[in-house]
Amino acid sequence: MYDIIVIGAGPAGAAAAKTLAENGCRVLLAEKCRIPRYKSCSGQLIQKSLNLVERYFGEPVPSHTTCSPAENRGMVFTDDTGHTYVFPQPGLNVWRSSFDAWLTKKAAAAGAVVQDALNAVSCTAQDEAVLVRFRRADGSLYDERAEYVIDCEGVAGVIKRQLTGTVPDGITTYQTFHHGRIDLDPHYFYAYLQPELSEYDAWFNVKDGMLVLGVSVKNKEKESYYYDSFLSYMKKHHGLSVGKPERVDRWLMPRIKPGCAICYGIGRVLFAGEAAGFLNPMGEGISAGLESAYSAAQAVLKHRGDTEGIYSSYREGTAALHDYMKRQWSLVGGMAKTFSEMKQP
């Protein structure tokens, strides 16, 4: 029996597993994919993410996880009237496969048992523990028990869906990678909030010389309409010239609603990262994942055996993050009609 099972080896899962293992807990970190696994992401690490990595993982993000240009100098937002805002700040441009694999390696070095190709399919309360059923890559099932589970499955988690009986309300993201040309500085991440270009936002960034263009939509059927509009806009305003995409990917993002509700967990299963609903706008999903999962792990370390104490400590530990999240969404809500419901009075 493990003390804690952490589900999902993204930034949240790796941060929780590392924190618990280095404090003497027997930890299993289970990841359903083979590591390194692909995660659709712009891979922009803002200053806050870099600081959290140094604080929780004890060293700076290594250069082997970055792609070119490695340096990110900030974000450029175009609001729905076409006005541009530049938010300069130092950051890094990483491939999530390499970055997350490095975080997971650090969790393993701290003593966590890391198993990939291990899919958690259910969590059941059992006496003073949780029984987690896993499916291996060959289809066989096996069970593990732990005192607590920290579920860091990301947006499309099956465990959260089972325990809460809710289907996540997601936004579809669609992005394509191209060789080509554009007259924008590749060191910045660009977001476009005009309602004619996407139902939420459209974006552009550069990874290893490839031009990445993406749109997010509520309604998947409108994906190609918005994507074509965005490409035409980039051609007209920034001289975009691209051929057929080298890669296409589609993903889900949690749809954050006014109030930014967080689901901290059910019984002995805590949720962290996107699984809990932590997601900041302006490229801050990674920092929110790291910070929330670290707080969940700290709460378990401080109050093991006292589930209520764990929840109040977890809420308290993430109160500042939650307030910040509301402020950031309100800021974006004030800039664009696509997010206007997020604007706080």
Residues that bind ligand FAD (CB under 6 A): 7-13, 30-33, 37, 39-44, 49, 119-120, 152-154, 157-158, 173, 175, 214, 251, 253, 273-275, 279, 283-287, 289
> 30: which DSSP letter?
E
| Token code pair at residue 63 | 């250069």
Closest-CA residue to 148 (of 344, 313, 300, 342) = 300
Amino acid in the structure at residue 273: G
Amino acid in the structure at residue 311: Y
Instruction: Closer to ligand FAD by CB, 10 or 333: give it.
Output: 10
Q: Is 176 helix (H, G, I), strand (E, B) or coil?
A: strand
Q: Which residue is nearest to ligand FAD (CB)?
A: 285
Instruction: Closer to ligand FAD by CB, 278 or 335: give it.
Output: 278
Q: Cβ of residue 53: shortest distance to ligand FAD, in angstroms? A: 11
Q: Cβ of residue 43: shortest distance to ligand FAD, in angstroms? A: 5
| Token code pair at residue 334 | 């004030």
Q: Cβ of residue 275: shortest distance to ligand FAD, in angstroms? A: 6
C-alpha distances in angstroms, 151 versus 3, 104, 205? 14, 15, 31
Instruction: Report residue 304: phi and psi, to 5°.
Output: -50, 130
> 201: which DSSP letter?
-
As a whole number of angstroms, the distance between CA 192 and CA 213 comes to: 11
Q: Is 182 helix (H, G, I), strand (E, B) or coil?
A: coil
Q: Cβ of residue 173: shortest distance to ligand FAD, in angstroms? A: 4
Instruction: Closer to ligand FAD by CB, 137 or 305: give it.
Output: 137
Instruction: Closer to ligand FAD by CB, 133 or 309: give it.
Output: 133
Instruction: Closer to ligand FAD by CB, 25 or 92: give it.
Output: 92
Instruction: Closer to ligand FAD by CB, 239 or 266: give it.
Output: 266
Q: Cβ of residue 194: shortest distance to ligand FAD, in angstroms? A: 18
Q: Cβ of residue 283: shortest distance to ligand FAD, in angstroms? A: 4
C-alpha distances in angstroms, 289 versus 1, 48, 52, 100, 244? 26, 12, 10, 12, 34
